[in-house]
């Protein structure tokens, strides 16, 4: 086939796919109209039924109330279903699908073709879908690395298939812009195109560029805990969020509204907030570990991340030693010793006496503590035992009052009518007075039971911690004590937990998350190279099986980076001592390094570089500094020349534009272009810090080395 024949064939195929796209969009638009009509019909039916129901039961308030409760439930269920469908169809209408697979299943004589999109579409009163949801089992064939033999996991088991053809489409605003026959490898043209776009657009289109190794992680079994240690830009967060979407799609009844995502800070949480809704998923709880812990503990605040990291960066040795200790296994052992000590001698047990009778002996109470309720946490035990003692107090009170009432009635019965008339009121007054005396003694005994009252666990920990200012490293220990002493659990039911930036977590954090949520599976992602918090020994996230009782834990490594250009990743690799990043073959601008010798020169270079990057069309540009003092300094020297937003708090919000930000708050974020301020100051984490700062850049990286 010569070139002209090849071009004609491509043109024919393009027109066929164009016609198919138009037909699909027409069907989707028809489904949108049908859904809108259904919604109108539901509103009409509910309105008419409501009118009739109110008229029928106008004299029966209970019937009317019952009707409205039922009506509200039905309406919510119907509207939720229709609105969800409308949202999906509306998202699909301008771009219904992004892939096509032509294949033949083993033991089948028929070839099949499916189109893969963000959501599935099966027209009303039809049996065959015109678009397959990317999360469906068969869609895994699209993400397989090559043509030929492959397999996917269906409900009935593994299904083998022969992939005959695989296509990717570029569809924007209902127009077919391109067709690519592809095996979806890292050199794929579409992947290159998507990753070359600006950061905001990249996140929107990432679903069509998921690689086989990423898809394998996403589709791991529901009850398996996966731990992903991946280099910067390897798609860890993408994997985590798409795994949530995948699990919700396949196990919605089990997991709906029961998934928790724990991120590093609120900047990051805001940054990723658009991803799950774009995948049609809502109801997923999102929090930082700090906020999650503070709510459970009942604290307002601890040392800010800024103050915490600044102490590390200035090399506060006492503070660093404290971090190392509180992140160690030895600290867990010390907490366990504290729990044992409290169990053995916290409560000074004594007899409980009321109205001349011992109602609970010391021995009886000790038996309750040490035998009958021994399996319960200490302070849960004490609450239960206190209720038992209160019940005995009530019984003794009632016994004395019954005795008093009996004596009163017997005395009253012995009186003549004349005596009853003369002395009856006096006897009643004495009876009431005696009852008050009994109640007074009951109150006194209850007040004396303070020895069995539970203390505030935070107070116990503060004493254990020598009343030092609480930091993020104290949250997990406090939660651990509350679990051990109070039996603390999450108020909300949680069935799956996602932990991002997990390299910064201690072993104790993983332990308390498991106990609090009682989850049997987690998705844990992080990058060992990005831990700026001091640690001794191995990274806890890579050794979960050593201290967590999980039946199925599987570790994965991702060495391939899709975020930045080859030039940026090559530059970043110089700061890694272990296995370096394997960059995607996506070339870009050369990384520039410049020596700066004065503040005036720095000001001039910064302003001109920032303006130049904006002129190139970059929508997100960051000046990343080591710490907050340098961040404030950079802001001060350019604020009169141009506007730049300062991000100096962990609860800041960032969407786009030019920002100056310290290294530790930039973790997890990505920017079209980055300017690094390298002040050449020694730091225990200099290499890791430079690695973090370098790998925030997608397309352009400039390094200004200060020599003044």
Do residues 30 and 87 both lie within one domain?
Answer: yes
Q: Is the pLDDT of residue 424 over 90?
A: no
Q: How many helices (H) and strands (E) does the chain have?
A: 24, 22
Maximum CA extent, the chain: 132
Q: Which structural domain, as residue segments, surrounds residue 295?
A: 236-315+472-558
Looking at every residue in the chain, the average pLDDT score rounds to 87
Question: Does 230 show up as a binding residue in the annotation?
Answer: yes
Mean pLDDT of 439-454: 95
Domain boundary among 44, 64, 93: 93
- Structural domain total, the chain: 5
The last residue of a domain, from among 510, 537, 558:
558
What is the Cα–Cα distance from 94 to 227, expressed in whole angstroms?
A: 36
Residues 610 and 647 in one domain: yes
pLDDT at 6: 65
Same domain, 107 and 74: no
Query: In the prediction, which pLDDT does 416 show?
Result: 87
pLDDT over 90 at 703, yes or no:
yes
Residues 540 and 625 in one domain: no
- Percent of the chain beyond pLDDT 70? 88
Between helix 329-345 and helix 457-464 the angle, nearest 10°, is 120
Asked if 195 and 586 touch (Cβ cutoff 8 Å), the reply is yes
Residue 648: pLDDT over 50: yes
232 appears as a binding residue in the annotation: yes
Residue 229, in any domain of the structure: no
The predicted structure's pLDDT at residue 681: 62
CB atoms within 10 A of CB 514: 19
| 3-class SS letters over 470-518 | CCHHHHHHHHHHHHHHHCCCCCCCCCEEEECCHHHCCHHHHHHHHHHHC
Cα torsion angle, 483, 488, 492, 495, sign: positive
Q: pLDDT band at 420, cuts 50/70/90?
A: confident
pLDDT at site 563: 83
Strands (E), 194-282: 225-230, 259-263
Query: Which among 480, 523, 482 has a CA at the least distance from the CA of 228?
Result: 523
* All residues at 6 or more sequence positions from 11 whose CB lies less than 8 Å from its CB, including other chains: none
Contact 494, 257 (CB under 8 A): no
pLDDT in tens, 80-115: 778 788 888 998 999 999 999 999 998 888 999 999
231 assigned to some structural domain: no
Query: Is 668 a residue whose pLDDT tops 70?
Result: yes
Answer whether residue 60 shows pLDDT above 70.
Answer: no
Residue 279 belongs to domain with CATH number = 3.40.50
Residues 681 and 571 both lie in one domain: yes
Are residues 594 and 539 both part of a single domain?
no
For residue 417 the two structure tokens come to 């009518």
Domain-located, residue 663: yes
531 in a structural domain: yes
Instruction: Tell me if residue 525 falls in helix, strand or coil.
Output: strand
236 is in an annotated binding site: yes
Are 550 and 572 members of one domain?
no
- pLDDT per residue over 271-291, tens digit each? 677 777 777 677 889 999 999
The whole-angstrom distance between residue 9's C-alpha and the CA centroid of its chain comes to: 49
Q: What is the pLDDT of residue 651?
A: 76
Task: Identify any residues that bridge with 645 across adjacent strands, giving them in sequence order.
Answer: 659
In a domain, 334, yes or no: no
Model confidence over 296-341: pLDDT tens digits?
999 998 999 999 999 998 889 999 999 999 999 999 999 999 999 9
Is residue 510, in this structure, part of any structural domain at all?
Answer: yes
Q: Looking at residue 561, what is its pLDDT?
A: 83
546 and 602 share a domain? no
237 carries a ligand binding annotation: yes
pLDDT tier for residue 50 given thresholds of 50, 70 and 90: low
What's the whole-number mean pLDDT along residues 21-35? 92
Mean pLDDT for the stretch of residues 120-142: 90
Are 184 and 212 a contacting pair, CB within 8 Å? yes
Residue 340 belongs to a domain: no
Sequence-separated (6 or more) residues with CB below 8 Å from residue 133: 116, 117, 118, 119, 120, 139, 249
Q: DSSP letters along 591-652, please?
A: PEEEEE-SHHHHHHHHHHHHHHHHHTT-SEEEEEESSHHHHHHHHHHHTTTS--EE--STT-
Q: Which CA distances in Å does 653 have to 121, 504, 695?
A: 36, 22, 20
Q: What is the C-alpha to C-alpha distance for residues 300 and 504, in angstroms, rounded to an integer?
A: 22
- Give the separation between CA 697 and CA 130, rounded to whole angstroms: 39
Query: Over the stretch 241-261, which tens digit does the pLDDT of each residue have?
Result: 899 999 998 898 899 899 999
- Verify that 87 and 105 share a domain, yes or no: no
What pLDDT, in 10s, does the model give residues 171-210? 889 999 888 876 544 334 555 555 555 555 444 456 667 7
Q: What percent of the chain has pLDDT over 90?
A: 56
> Is 592 annotated to bind ligand?
no
205 or 378, which is more confident: 378
Give the 3-state secondary structure of residue 101: strand
* pLDDT higher than 90, residue 64: no
- Whether residues 87 and 108 share a domain: the answer is no
| Count, residues in the chain | 708
402 and 442 in a single domain? The answer is yes
What tens digit of pLDDT does each residue of 519-553 get?
Answer: 988 999 999 989 999 998 889 999 887 777 777 89
Please give the pLDDT value at position 520.
83
**b/e string for 420-429 if b means 16 or more Cβ within 10 A?**
eeeeeeebee
Give the global pTM.
0.84
Number of neighbours of residue 172 by Cβ within 10 angstroms? 11
Question: What's the pLDDT score for residue 193?
Answer: 54
Mean pLDDT (whole number) for 352-379: 94
Phi/psi at 131 (nearest 5 deg)?
Answer: -135, 135
The answer to which of 222-231, 393-402, 584-593 has the lowest mean pLDDT is 584-593
- The response to whether 178 counts as a known ligand-binding position is no
- CATH classification at residue 701: 3.40.50.300
Specify the pLDDT at position 185. 45
The pLDDT value recorded for residue 203 is 47
Q: How much is the pLDDT for 669?
A: 87
In a domain, 227, yes or no: no
107 and 77 in a single domain? The answer is: no
Using the 3D structure, point to which of 537, 558, 579 is the last residue of a domain: 558
The one-character DSSP state at 99 is: E
DSSP secondary structure code for residue 264 in this structure: S
């Amino acid at each position: 086939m010569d070139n002209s024949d090849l071009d004609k064939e491509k043109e024919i195929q393009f027109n066929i796919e164009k016609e198919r796209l138009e037909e699909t969009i027409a069907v989707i638009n028809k489904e949108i109209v049908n859904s809108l009509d259904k919604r109108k019909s539901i509103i009409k039916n509910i309105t008419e039924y409501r009118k009739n129901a109110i008229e029928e039961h106008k004299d029966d308030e209970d019937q009317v109330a019952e009707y409205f409760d039922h009506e509200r439930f039905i309406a919510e269920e119907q509207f939720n279903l229709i609105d969800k469908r409308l949202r999906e169809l509306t998202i699909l209408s301008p771009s219904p699908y992004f892939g096509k697979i032509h294949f033949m299943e083993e033991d089948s004589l028929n070839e099949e073709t499916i189109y893969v999109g963000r959501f599935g579409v099966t027209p009303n009163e039809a049996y065959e879908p015109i678009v397959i949801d990317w999360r469906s089992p068969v869609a895994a064939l699209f993400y397989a690395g090559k043509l030929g033999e492959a397999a996917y996991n269906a409900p009935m088991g593994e299904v083998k298939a022969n992939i005959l053809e695989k296509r990717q489409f570029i569809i924007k605003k209902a127009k077919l812009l391109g067709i690519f026959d592809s095996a979806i490898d890292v050199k794929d043209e579409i992947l290159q195109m998507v990753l070359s776009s600006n950061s905001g657009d990249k996140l929107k289109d990432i679903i069509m560029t998921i690689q086989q190794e990423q898809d394998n992680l996403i589709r791991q079994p529901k009850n398996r805990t996966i731990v992903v240690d991946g280099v910067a830009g390897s798609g860890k967060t993408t994997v985590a969020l798409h795994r949530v979407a995948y699990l919700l799609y396949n196990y919605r009844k089990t997991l709906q509204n029961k998934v928790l995502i724990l991120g590093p800070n609120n900047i990051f949480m805001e940054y990723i907030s658009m991803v799950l809704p774009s995948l049609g998923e809502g109801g997923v709880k999102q929090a930082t570990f700090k906020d999650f812990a503070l709510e459970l503990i009942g604290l307002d605040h601890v040392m800010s991340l800024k103050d915490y990291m600044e102490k590390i960066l200035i090399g506060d040795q006492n503070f660093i030693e404290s971090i190392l200790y509180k992140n160690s296994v030895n600290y867990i052992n010390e907490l366990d010793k504290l729990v044992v000590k409290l169990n053995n001698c916290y409560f000074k047990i004594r007899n409980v006496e009321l109205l001349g009778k011992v109602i609970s002996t010391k021995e009886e109470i000790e038996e309750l503590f040490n035998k009958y309720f021994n399996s319960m946490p200490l302070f849960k035990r004490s609450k239960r035992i206190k209720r038992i003692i209160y019940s005995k107090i009530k019984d003794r009170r009632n016994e004395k009052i019954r005795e008093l009432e009996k004596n009163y009635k017997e005395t009253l019965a012995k009186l003549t009518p004349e005596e009853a008339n003369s002395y009856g009121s006096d006897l009643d007054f004495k009876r009431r007075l005696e009852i008050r005396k009994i109640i007074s003694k009951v109150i006194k005994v209850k007040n004396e039971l303070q020895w069995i009252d539970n203390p505030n666990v935070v107070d116990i920990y503060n004493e254990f911690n020598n009343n030092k200012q609480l930091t993020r490293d104290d949250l997990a220990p406090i939660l651990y004590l509350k679990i051990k002493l109070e039996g603390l659990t999450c108020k909300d039911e949680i069935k799956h937990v996602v932990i991002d930036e997990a390299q910064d977590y201690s072993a104790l954090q993983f332990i308390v998350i498991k106990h609090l949520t009682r989850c049997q599976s987690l998705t844990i992602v992080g990058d060992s190279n990005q831990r700026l918090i001091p640690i001794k020994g191995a990274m806890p996230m890579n050794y979960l099986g050593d201290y967590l009782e999980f039946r199925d834990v599987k570790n994965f490594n991702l060495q391939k980076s899709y975020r930045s250009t080859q030039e940026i990743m090559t530059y970043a690799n110089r700061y890694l001592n272990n296995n370096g990043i394997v960059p995607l073959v996506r070339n870009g601008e050369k990384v520039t390094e410049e020596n700066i010798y004065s503040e005036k020169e720095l000001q001039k270079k910064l302003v001109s570089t920032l303006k130049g990057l904006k002129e190139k069309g970059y929508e997100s540009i960051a000046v990343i500094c080591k710490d907050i003092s340098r961040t404030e300094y950079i802001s001060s020297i350019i604020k009169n020349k141009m506007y730049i937003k300062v991000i100096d708090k962990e609860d800041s919000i960032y969407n786009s534009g030019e920002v100056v930000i310290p290294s530790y708050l930039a973790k997890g974020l990505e920017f079209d272009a980055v300017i690094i301020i390298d002040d050449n100051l020694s730091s225990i984490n200099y290499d890791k810090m430079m690695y973090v700062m370098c790998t925030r850049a997608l397309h352009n990286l400039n390094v200004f080395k200060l020599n003044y």
